Amino acid sequence: MLHLILFFIFAAVCIAAAINLLAQSHPINSALSLIVVMGSLAVLYLLLGAEFVAAIQIIVYAGAVMVLFVFVIMLLNAGTEEHSGKSYVAWFIGIPSVIALAALVVYSLLLHQGQTGNASVSSNSMIGSVQEIAKLLFGKFLLPFEVTSVLILIAIMGAVVLAKRGDN
């Protein structure tokens, strides 16, 4: 019961913050809304029993990635953006696509109601625990995990090379 109440509260906060992210005209307010979205997603993960994923969501996304976003916005001292309100692409492609996507998600959820509706996670299950995730990461999914690490390393080195190019 408490799980359900908390789920609806944080789902509502998440959606409200996501809409606020789009509606705000100042970049720093948008960035802060995104932090609220990340935080409420972490709470939703926690409610599903995925405690490790929830903690990593906070540490990596809210605590590191978004700090860099805010840092750059502060450093560049980006000002308020102006809404032109004249984008025909948004009116004629964007909004119909959103409606189509939402309809598709609702349709597939209703179609597979039997399989998804009763997938609840009890609080004492070990699905989201650190040990289970470690076993999956370093056992079954070792190769994808390591390949992703190499990919990220290459991206970091690429960023360093691009940043250093201006010096010569």
Using CB under 8 A, list all residues that contact another protein: 2, 28, 32, 35, 51-52, 54-56, 58-59, 62-64, 67-68, 70-71, 74-75, 77, 129-130
Nearer to another protein, 90 or 134 (CB): 134
The nearer residue to another protein, 110 or 121, going by C-beta atoms, is 121
Look-up of token digits 């390949």: 147
Angle (CA) 38 42 45, round 5°: 140
Instruction: Return the DSSP state at 57.
Output: I
Shortest spacing between CB 34 and another protein, in angstroms:
12
Of 2 and 119, the one with the shorter C-beta distance to another protein is: 2
Gyration radius of the chain over CA positions:
20
Q: Which long-range contacts (CB under 8 A, 24 or more apart) does 148-157 make?
A: none
CB atoms within 10 A of CB 39: 19
Measured from the CB of residue 74, what is the shortest distance to another protein in angstroms?
Answer: 5
Nearer to another protein, 78 or 95 (CB): 78
